Structure 1
């Protein structure tokens, strides 16, 4: 099975199958600003936290924005449960493979990156942990970027809509994501 390995305790570690995804601190607050649990309303930009997180990983990668976890506020947490992730495993694993193939932060040669992205068994628990952190760091960067663009961006004189929600979404659509760091 893709992404699976055994660690020193003979537990099987598999990307996105061994532990829930937890958003901590400001990242939980960013998610709350764009998603409302069990509710689809005008304020929610995403119907599921899982969808927001998948999109955030892609956007964080495209914007080359990686951020460390924020565990300073232990009460601010949002969790994507394993059963939700399992039903969307292919989506998350495919995003992981793309990140492993295209990320240059580790200084690996293309053949090494391809082997890591498609190897069914990471070489070590350390590699597994580093790859998961790489994914999550991009997702956190994408969450912050989406929050800045969709929630906190002030309406400008050039905006054609007075409603901040509509204006911010239109601005996001008009300006394609590129690799420039903002």
Structure 2
């Protein structure tokens, strides 16, 4: 698993292209430098926001070809450790997908990548995360200042939603169990 090219298709390919495009021609600023950066972050965003998405086959009206954006195999392999960590984390935490704790542990460690359904679940979080990132950071934006504002708002929302209620004591309690 995570040893070959990954392909975004349809609307997700278009959205990845937008997420990795220069939004300010003066500074050459981008939200994400490369497709692999989106691929590494999107599943976590999708999981945390509870968003999955089905494969999409939106076509380019000029060519009638399904839109594609690739993450080259060497980039996937280079990021394999991070991608495996994210996969394991999601398999461990996704109680809706697998209610049994022992089975989640097995999916994450013993049988990682053996079940096509597990990989499909992970990929659905990738696509859902791409949708969240696009909606929060790109959709409806028309100026570089708006991109920066959207990014700031997203980071602030993320902090409030997922980090504000966590204290150092809570982390220490979890680590000492």
Q: TM-score, normalised by structure 1?
A: 0.75
In 2, are the aligned partners of 1:153 and 1:168 still within 8 Å (CA)?
Answer: no
The answer for unaligned runs of 5 or more in structure 2 is: 60-64, 163-177
Aligned residues: 153
In structure 1, the residue matched to 2:169 is none
**Inter-partner Cα distance in structure 2 for 1:121 and 1:75:** 30
In structure 2, the residue matched to 1:56 is 42
**Inter-partner Cα distance in structure 2 for 1:79 and 1:136:** 14
In structure 2, the residue matched to 1:131 is 118
TM-aligned CA deviation for residue 50 of structure 1: 0.3
**Inter-partner Cα distance in structure 2 for 1:147 and 1:53:** 13
In structure 2, the residue matched to 1:33 is 18
Match of residue 163, structure 1, among 145, 149, 162: 145
**Inter-partner Cα distance in structure 1 for 2:69 and 2:32:** 14
Q: TM-score, normalised by structure 2?
A: 0.77
**Inter-partner Cα distance in structure 2 for 1:121 and 1:56:** 19
Task: Point out the structure with the larger helix share.
Answer: 2
**Inter-partner Cα distance in structure 2 for 1:41 and 1:130:** 40
In 2, are the aligned partners of 1:26 and 1:70 still within 8 Å (CA)?
Answer: yes
In structure 2, the residue matched to 1:114 is 105
Give runs of ≥4 in structure 1 deviating > 4 Å: none
In 1, are the aligned partners of 2:20 and 2:33 still within 8 Å (CA)?
Answer: yes
Cα RMSD (Å) of the superposition? 2.6
The answer for unaligned runs of 5 or more in structure 1 is: 1-14, 156-161
SS of residue paired to 2:158: coil
TM-aligned CA deviation for residue 121 of structure 1: 6.2
**Inter-partner Cα distance in structure 2 for 1:137 and 1:168:** 24
